[in-house]
């Protein structure tokens, strides 16, 4: 299981999850955008750290998280 983490964003202390680009159960590829977050009127994408299946969304759309927080989980593809 791999964590989807809010990366450091240059002094930003909190982001709001604007939109998940996939639903739980969807296949995702490493480096693929999985979520959009907003901080200080700028939008950033968060990429999948590994390929596999989106297993859980821990921070739903409209909720906030801080850099370093786990917002979702990916079940890694085997093989």
Q: Which residue spans within 1-79 are E strands per DSSP? A: 2-5, 15-20, 27-28, 33-39, 42-47, 52-57, 64-65, 70-76
CATH number at residue 62: 2.40.50.100
Range of the domain at 28: 2-76
What is the distance of C-alpha 46 from the center of its chain?
A: 5
Count of domains observed in the chain = 1
pTM over 0.85: yes
pLDDT confidence of residue 9: 85
**Per-residue pLDDT tens over the stretch 8-37:** 988 889 999 999 999 999 999 999 999 999
């Amino acid at each position: 299981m791999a964590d989807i983490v809010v990366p450091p964003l240059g002094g930003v202390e909190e982001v709001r999850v604007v939109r998940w680009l996939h639903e739980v159960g969807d296949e995702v590829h490493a480096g693929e955008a999985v979520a959009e977050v907003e901080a200080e009127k700028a939008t950033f994408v968060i990429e999948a750290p590994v390929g596999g299946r989106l297993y859980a969304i821990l921070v739903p759309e409209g909720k906030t998280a801080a850099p370093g927080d786990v917002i979702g989980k990916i079940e890694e593809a085997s093989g």
